[in-house]
Amino acid sequence: MNHTQVSKQQAMADAEAALIREVRRQEASSRVQLARRLGLAPSTVGVYVDRLIGEGYLREGPKIQTRSGRPATVVELNPQAGEFIGVDFDARLIVATSIDFSQQVQRRAQRTVLTSDTTPDVLAKIEEVISELARPAALLGIGVAVPGAVDSDQGIARHYEYIPGWQDVPLVARLSQRFRVPVHLENNIRSFALAEQWFSQRPAVSNYVCLGIRSGIGAGVVIDGQLHRGTDGLAGEIGSWPCVVPGSNGAYQTVTLESVASVRALLNRLTDEVRRGAQTTLRLKRDQVTLDELLRAAQQSDPLVLRSLQGAADAVARVIAQCSLLLNPDRVVIVGPLAELTEAFLEPVSRSVDQYAVPQHAKKPEIVAASFGDYGGALGAAALAVHQWRRC
């Protein structure tokens, strides 16, 4: 096959991928509507649509009324055309979900990450959950939501301090070789932002921030409907954002946001308090306060836990107020287990933002919990693989 033929096939694949993305964006589309939105001749779109129907990626749906009075046939996605898998993980949990060609969730799986797990252990568990969900004949692509710094173009997970040895991990090369499908990499909080954009039932907004509070802290920023990654893919790495807090001697000190408000920091502080004999309903399990214990005690209004959460909420609120001055987002979506604590965490965050926001220069954003719990990052990663897909 010569260069001209390869270029023509590439152009055709690009056009068909764009057509399928347009069908995804609009629930009811006729051939004429697709041609208009894509800026192509109706006859050209007709050829593409007929070929994609013949190959099982699209199918004809019901007829819709048009202005001319002649009903037009809707073109829609064929759910049976194949499946995609998305994986998300941090230092405590790996979750995965499979979705069909029309982006409907099919199956889910998860694995616990142990404190003793090293990089090879975590990689093996990622491959396990993919294998558990995958139907090899149907698998079309994989998306992986990775904590920490990511080079999406090179397919490399650069750094994550909470998994020993997690440095320049060639995830795309490893997983694509193992599963023989395209693999796409994204930062996990940005993947949550994609899930909010593509799956949430909330009214759509064009400017929002997903603030992920898990083992570490990061942000996914969407500006004018587009995910913002930054020049080197480092946008949203706000765990080291400086926070001023009162020290033990009464003087104020500057620390990082992650050391104040991450789940890991909260659990470590509460563990220290319990060991020192603080009055609390918290119980140590294997000499450590667990996340389940924190959530239980918070829901039962344990005073020690509520004070700790208030301190974290105050630090998070200061960052939200500062982000509002910089980005003017319509919405801030809190991601992670603390988002389950409406009265103990989300409401204190909102009240503190009222204190720190400057009305003349910043509008307080809507502050909400993520729509999809632990599986939001996996869902966003799967959808990323869907939207990057093209027919071979």
All domains of the chain, ordered by start, with CATH?
3-77 (1.10.10.10), 81-198+376-388 (3.30.420.40), 202-370 (3.30.420.40)
| Integer-rounded Cα radius of gyration of the chain | 23
Contact criterion met (CB below 8 Å) for 63 and 74: yes
Task: Compute CA distances 218 → 201, 210, 257, whole Å.
Answer: 23, 8, 10
> What is d(CA 112, CA 21) in angstroms, rounded to the nearest whole number?
34
Contact criterion met (CB below 8 Å) for 303 and 310: no
What pLDDT was estimated at residue 392? 65
* Binned average pLDDT, 10 residues per bin, the chain of 392 residues: 62 84 79 88 90 91 68 87 95 94 93 94 97 94 93 92 94 96 94 88 91 93 92 89 80 90 96 94 93 96 96 95 92 95 96 86 88 88 88 70
> How distant is the alpha carbon of residue 150 from its chain centre?
14
Residue 85 CB coordination number (10 Å): 32
CA 64, 67, 70, 76 torsion: positive or negative?
A: negative
Contact criterion met (CB below 8 Å) for 261 and 312: yes
What pLDDT was estimated at residue 374? 84
pTM score of the predicted model: 0.85
- Identify which of 392, 213, 225 has the alpha carbon closest to the alpha carbon of residue 309: 213
* Dihedral over alpha carbons 373, 257, 363, 326 (to 10 degrees): -110
Helical spans, DSSP H, in 86-239: 119-133, 171-179, 188-199
Helical spans, DSSP H, in the chain: 3-25, 31-38, 42-54, 119-133, 171-179, 188-199, 257-261, 263-275, 291-299, 303-327, 347-356, 376-388
> What is d(CA 14, CA 150) in angstroms, rounded to the nearest whole number?
26
Task: Compute CA distances 223 → 64, 202, 212, 228, 315, whole Å.
Answer: 34, 17, 17, 7, 24
Contact criterion met (CB below 8 Å) for 46 and 56: no
Burial 30-52 (b: 16+ CB within 10 A, else e): bbebbbeebebeeeebeebbeeb
What pLDDT was estimated at residue 16? 87
What pLDDT was estimated at residue 73? 84
What pLDDT was estimated at residue 65? 62
> What is d(CA 274, CA 282) in angstroms, rounded to the nearest whole number?
7
Q: What is the DSSP letter of 365?
A: P
Task: Compute CA distances 392 → 12, 39, 40, 87, 182, whole Å.
Answer: 10, 23, 22, 23, 11
Q: Give the chain's length.
A: 392
> What is d(CA 112, CA 110) in angstroms, rounded to the nearest whole number?
7
What pLDDT was estimated at residue 110? 95
- Looking up tokens 């995830």 gives 171
What pLDDT was estimated at residue 13? 81
